[in-house]
Amino acid sequence: MAARVVTLAFSGVDCVRVEVEVQFTRGDSAFILVGLGDKAVAESRERVRAAFTGLGLALPAKRIIANLAPADLPKVGSHYDLPIALAVMAGMGIIPPDALEGWAAMGELSLDGRIVPVAGALPAAVAAGGLGLGLICPEACGPEAAWAGDTRVLAAPSLIALVNHFRGTQMLGTPKPGDLLDDERVPDLRDVKGQENAKRALEIAAAGGHNLCFIGPPGSGKSMMAARLPGLLPALTPAELLETSMVHSIAGLIARGQLSRARPFRAPHHSASMAALTGGGLKAKPGEVSLAHNGVLFLDELPEFGVQALDSLRQPLETGEVVVARANAHVRYPARFQLVAAMNPCRCGHGGPGRGACGRAPRCQTDYQGRISGPLMDRIDLQVEVPPVTAADLALPPPSEGTAEAAARVSAARSRQVERAVGISGAAPLNAQAEGDFLERAADLAPDARALLTRAAEAGGLSARGWTRTLRLARTIADLEESGPVRRVHVAEALIYRRVAPGAALGVSSVSA
């Protein structure tokens, strides 16, 4: 009769039940592992054999067959070591066969029988609880797995500790969740002198979750302001904390079971590949867009990223998820992030309005910004020109308002958005995600505001997507102003941030309320 132990296979942040079946049969002495495992799974045989030797145990001189079912599901990773070893022990009678009922197991074995940590303890514990099982995991993963709530967690330092526990000679305690870290220290917006328009755009982006791009010469403070965006954002809600932490757990980024309520802020180098940004590789790991889920993805020197890598962002910006396609599987990761980008106006950095120090203007500027596709720029709600910082700006005293004051306004604006969406099926909690009839009702456009938006679209300055995103942006500006309906002044400001000059587009010299 085969001994069985339940474990889990990862498919993105989801888990699939896998049964490890071990049977001893007659024949030549051998340890055979089947079930479509990768190289790490195939090497489990040697780690299990060495761990048994380290405990003073010998495998029986029989043909040992270990099957990972379902056999057509690809198995990846070293966390199958522990369930295979437990199933062998149950088959040998070292552990009572019924002791492992009601448990799922995961963990890698060292050669001396210690159970070393693996990635994915939190989603594994959540999935085990959903199956009505507890989770046996490495001791170092216990504080992380304990965040799963009601799921029973058994965190063991070694195989011998598990044997003693199931035999009743030395019981293992229940691990406690790791620390919950509050907002991390972030630079203060008060450090930025001048750039009032850019700071206003940063506050609007934070309030509505809008995508933002700073365009300006080197040294104008683009990266400095982007680094201060996390301080304007509210802490993760409990549901967002769980979603974000499960992605980070799969990526192995949770240390000592500590979860952070601060929103992720990811800033990959411009040499990052498409797989690094959107996910992939041999094990279909989450990319930067998923690691920034419920947070911010900052792309500095935007045109220096590969064209293919940048265009791969277009779909997750719309759908909020990434699908990593493989020949034998499709892996989904959440990717609801806020894109913040920074770029020079041209390669030399001196082009742009009001400067002209670039000897190849305007072609240098056109060629450099042409590396970014129009569809990607159309998904960026605020495109802000950042002028050079002058000596007069640097001589100014520190601004009277900093991160705390701006964050309070952002929090109030977000509260209005959440209240607006309460009780409405399919309603998005942030303006940047609102759409359809809900967006139309939420905007409550004043007649003159609708007329201005219509004239901008008719003049060719807005695509259909641009119309929707301008409406969302205007709604956020109105929320910051504590306005019920969206008025003409709000639409006018939103159009400016869309890099559609209302005066030029509509044949008038200025736009007023």
* pTM of this structure: 0.91
pLDDT value at position 512?
Answer: 39
Q: Judge contact between 14 and 127, C-beta under 8 A.
A: yes
Residue with the larger pLDDT of the pair 285 and 359: 285
Q: Judge contact between 384 and 213, C-beta under 8 A.
A: yes
Element (H, E) at 83: helix 81-92
Query: Does residue 303 sit within a domain?
Result: yes
Per residue in 39-50, pLDDT (tens digit) is: 999 999 999 999
* Nearest by Cα to 478 from 512, 507, 510, 449: 449
Same domain, 387 and 305: yes
In the chain, how many domains are there?
3
CA dist list (Å): 146 to 157, 242, 294, 385, 444:
16, 12, 22, 47, 46
Is pLDDT above 80 for 430?
yes
Among 373, 397, 421, residue at a domain's last position: 397
Per residue in 99-112, pLDDT (tens digit) is: 999 999 999 999 99
> Domain with 70 in it: what CATH number?
3.30.230.10
Same domain, 305 and 333: yes
Same domain, 224 and 84: no
> Domain with 210 in it: what CATH number?
3.40.50.300
- Tell me the two tokens of residue 308: 């293919």
Query: Does residue 181 sit within a domain?
Result: no
Q: How confident is the model at residue 97 (pLDDT cuts 50, 70, 90)?
A: confident
Query: Does residue 175 sit within a domain?
Result: no
Query: Does residue 255 sit within a domain?
Result: yes
Per residue in 117-168, pLDDT (tens digit) is: 999 999 999 999 999 999 999 999 999 999 999 999 999 999 999 999 999 9
Output 436-443 pairs: Cβ under 8 A, ≥24 positions apart.
Answer: 439/468, 439/471, 439/472, 439/475, 442/475, 443/471, 443/474, 443/475, 443/485, 443/486
Same domain, 205 and 96: no
pLDDT value at position 424?
Answer: 87
Mean pLDDT of the chain: 91
**Average pLDDT estimate for 331-346:** 95
Query: Does residue 352 sit within a domain?
Result: yes
Same domain, 119 and 221: no
Same domain, 324 and 231: yes
Q: What are phi and psi of 4, to 5 degrees?
A: -125, 140
Same domain, 195 and 233: yes
Query: Does residue 307 sit within a domain?
Result: yes
Domain that holds residue 29: 3-167
pLDDT value at position 353?
Answer: 52
Same domain, 297 and 333: yes
Cα 434 to the center of its chain, rounded Å: 20
Q: How confident is the model at residue 503 (pLDDT cuts 50, 70, 90)?
A: very low
Vertex 239 angle, CA 234 and 243, to 5°: 100
Q: How confident is the model at residue 481 (pLDDT cuts 50, 70, 90)?
A: very high
pLDDT value at position 225?
Answer: 96
Same domain, 56 and 115: yes
Look at residue 122 and give its three-state secondary structure: helix
Is pLDDT above 70 for 371?
yes
pLDDT value at position 186?
Answer: 83
Query: Does residue 184 sit within a domain?
Result: no
pLDDT value at position 283?
Answer: 79
Q: Integer distance in angstroms from the first to the last C-alpha of the chain?
A: 81
Same domain, 361 and 218: yes
Query: Does residue 390 sit within a domain?
Result: yes
Same domain, 30 and 135: yes
Same domain, 134 and 16: yes
Give percent of the chain above pLDDT 70: 94
**Residues 6 or more apart from 380 whose CB is under 8 A from it?**
211, 212, 213, 339, 341
Among 119, 137, 167, residue at a domain's last position: 167
Among 355, 377, 397, residue at a domain's last position: 397
